[in-house]
Amino acid sequence: EKDEGARSLRIVLEKTVQKISQKNGLSIFNDKGKEEKIASLNDKLKEMKIFKQVRWEENKTYLTIWNHASHGDYGEYDLKQVENFYRHVQSLLNDFGI
């Protein structure tokens, strides 16, 4: 299921970026004690040179796919892109030992 897959992968991407952040000394909570937005953590990891330009952009792309899935804009992405999303998340898990 393309759309449910996109929504589920977003959760895995979010938790993975949080783990990578923690492994690199970043708090996943903001000053108010709420979880930092994944886009913000993604940016910080790029600034720290943990994520290179391409990986940072890929994360942004897959967050966009999730956003479309969560808002019912199912025509904005296709199954192949969701499959690539899966491979991207798997690559993050492998590359960062999570």
What are the tens digits of pLDDT across the range 5-59? 998 998 999 999 999 999 999 999 999 999 999 999 999 999 999 999 999 999 9
pLDDT given at position 35? 95
Contacts (Cβ under 8 Å, ≥6 apart) of 45: 17, 20, 21, 24, 26, 51, 56
Identify the pLDDT of residue 68. 92
